[in-house]
Amino acid sequence: MKRLSVAILLVLFCASFANARLADGPDHTILWNQFTAITMIDSLAVGIAPGAIIVCRYDDSLLSFVPVNLLLVEFDPVSFKKAGTILMIKTSDNMIAFFDLSALPELTYLGTVDPGIAFADFALYGENLYLSCWFDGVWKFTLDNFGDADFVDSSMTGILMTQLEVDGDTLYALDEYNGILRYDLAGQGFGEFIDYLWIPFEATSFLKTESLVIITTATSGVLLGDFGHAGSGIVDSIVGIDNPLRTLVTDTLFVFLNNRFLDVVNRNNPDQRLSAPILDCRIDGDLFMFQGKPCLLLPRTEGGLLQYDVSDPNYPTPGLYRSGPINDLLLYQGKLFTGGVSNPIDVFSFDTSATPDFGYTMYNGLREVSAIDRHSVLGTE
């Protein structure tokens, strides 16, 4: 089959699912393994992809995750957050879609709001939605059944407002020029300004833990802050972390990521650390426990997931059962054959509906459809 024919077939094949919710099961990894970001919710991995939300469960027999639910959506997810049992997804056109997570792996769509303004980050507190809008401050909206957002008030206390996090009744807002501002959300209006943690360098992100605020900066690595500390609130630092862009923590470890490396630092003894290259992965992943060890799950840029044991991060393993892109397609006698560099040739049929049903894998070692001999493998036409 010519490359042009394969490309046309792929477009038509994917277009048939444009507005459908696919059935549960691993059958549809042929369509979706290009994760943008992933997070762990209980024992499930929930990810976003262009036009889709995916829920995966770890399979002990396969030693990797398998999709158990895939929901195609009519928007392009950019980022997401969890507030209780609510999943909030920012779209490429500055809207927020809401989903109920209480019955995972099922996802229940609740609604979408359009605040009418571009924003950097978002946070939910009850029925109130807060948006950080860079130089336009932080805006507060009240939600109406997750289908509409009414503007309530705004705060211009900070200068360049980006990251937002809610902890209890407190909103933490990052002003990249000054530090982290705190607001009491229990009152009326926007919320009462409490105080701020001044940061002596340009901050890029923070992570609030029970005892510390972990702050990444554009020029000076990682700072550790405490709002209960007199003075600036900066109580310590971790040197030698190159351009950290994302922070994850366990009870005993800090994990810092940039686009090239991950650094694992012992929380009790920062001199004990490991570093490893990130192999063609996006950094919007998450930690989970596997066989008593913390593991890092990252989306691969070429498709699928990669799993790092953070106690020995130099030897990552595939994190998704069908981990690579589908490079080849072949329709033959009512069956669809798919294959790729990382995936064996899977066979799907259209016997019962217009949706392809997974039948079997031909040969685990045969990975490209172009390698099929029609006469010996498929039979004579």
Task: Identify the structural domains of the chain with CATH numbers, from first to last.
Answer: 115-239 (2.130.10.10), 328-378 (no CATH)
**Token pair of 189 as six digits:** 């209006």
For the cut 90, the answer to whether the pLDDT of residue 148 exceeds it is yes
Backbone angles phi and psi of 235, in degrees to 5: -110, -15
Q: For position 187, what pLDDT does the model report?
A: 77
Tracing tokens 């507190």 back to the chain, one arrives at: 125
Let me know: does 306 contact 38? Beta carbons within 8 Å. Answer: no
Mean of the pLDDT values across residues 237-256?
93
Mean of the pLDDT values across residues 189-207?
92
Which span out of 107-116, 197-206, 334-343 was modeled with the highest average pLDDT?
107-116
Q: Minimal CA–CA distance to 317: which of 290, 335, 344, 336? A: 290
Q: For the ranges 25-39, 244-258, 268-282, which has the lowest average pLDDT?
A: 25-39
Residue 125 pairs with which residues in a beta bridge?
128
pLDDT tens digits along 96-142:
999 999 999 999 999 999 999 999 999 999 999 999 999 999 999 99
Mean of the pLDDT values across residues 139-165?
96
Q: What percent of the chain has pLDDT over 90?
A: 61
Q: How confident is the model at residue 328 (pLDDT cuts 50, 70, 90)?
A: confident
pTM of the model: 0.84
Q: What gap in Å lies between CA 276 and CA 311, rounded to an integer?
A: 11
For the cut 60, the answer to whether the pLDDT of residue 154 exceeds it is yes
- pLDDT greater at residue 346 or residue 136: 136
Residue 172 pairs with which residues in a beta bridge?
165, 182
For the cut 70, the answer to whether the pLDDT of residue 349 exceeds it is yes
pLDDT tens digits along 48-64:
998 889 999 999 988 89
Residues contacting residue 13 through CB under 8 Å, at least 6 positions apart:
31, 329, 336
**Token pair of 86 as six digits:** 């609510």
Q: What gap in Å lies between CA 273 and CA 43, rounded to an integer?
A: 27
For the cut 50, the answer to whether the pLDDT of residue 14 exceeds it is no
- Indicate the average pLDDT of the chain: 85
For the cut 50, the answer to whether the pLDDT of residue 178 exceeds it is yes
Q: For position 368, what pLDDT does the model report?
A: 63
Count the neighbouring beta carbons within 10 Å of the beta carbon of residue 219.
Answer: 8
Q: For the ranges 104-108, 244-248, 377-381, which has the lowest average pLDDT?
A: 377-381
Q: How confident is the model at residue 370 (pLDDT cuts 50, 70, 90)?
A: low
Mean of the pLDDT values across residues 338-352?
77
Per-residue H/E/C for the chain: CCHHHHHHHHHHHHHCCCCCECCCCHHHHHCCCCCCEEEEECCEEEEEECCEEEEEEEECCCCEEEEEEEEECCCCEEEEEEECCEEEEEECCCCEEEEECCCCCCCEEEEEECCCCCCCEEEEECCEEEEECECCCEEEEEECCCCCEEEEEEECCCCCEEEEEEECCEEEEEECCCEEEEEECCCCCCCEEEEEEECCCCEEEEEECCCCEEEEECCCCEEEECCCCCCCCEEEEECCCCCCCEEEECCCEEEEECCCEEEEEECCCCCCEEEEECCCECCCCEEEEECCEEEEEEEECCCCEEEEECCCCCCCEECECCCCCCCEEEEECCEEEEECCCCCCEEEECCCCCCCEEEEECCCCCCCHHHCCHHHHHCCC
Q: For the ranges 102-111, 173-182, 321-330, 360-369, which has the lowest average pLDDT?
A: 360-369
Strands of the sheet with 222-225, listed across from one edge: 203-208, 213-217, 222-225, 234-238
Q: Minimal CA–CA distance to 195: which of 206, 181, 208? A: 181
Let me know: does 202 contact 177? Beta carbons within 8 Å. Answer: yes
**Token pair of 356 as six digits:** 């392809």
Mean of the pLDDT values across residues 310-337?
84
Q: How confident is the model at residue 352 (pLDDT cuts 50, 70, 90)?
A: low
Q: For position 380, what pLDDT does the model report?
A: 43
Q: How confident is the model at residue 378 (pLDDT cuts 50, 70, 90)?
A: low
Tracing tokens 């229940």 back to the chain, one arrives at: 108
Backbone angles phi and psi of 376, in degrees to 5: -90, -30
Let me know: does 323 contact 369? Beta carbons within 8 Å. Answer: no
- pLDDT greater at residue 29 or residue 164: 164
The burial of 235, by beta-carbon neighbours within 10 Å (0-12 exposed, 13-18 middle, 19 or more buried), is given as middle
Q: How confident is the model at residue 2 (pLDDT cuts 50, 70, 90)?
A: very low
Q: For position 150, what pLDDT does the model report?
A: 96
- pLDDT greater at residue 6 or residue 80: 80
Q: For position 151, what pLDDT does the model report?
A: 97
Q: For position 356, what pLDDT does the model report?
A: 67
CA 4 distance to own-chain centroid: 33
Q: What gap in Å lies between CA 127 and CA 182, rounded to an integer?
A: 19
Q: Minimal CA–CA distance to 283: which of 304, 295, 301, 266? A: 301
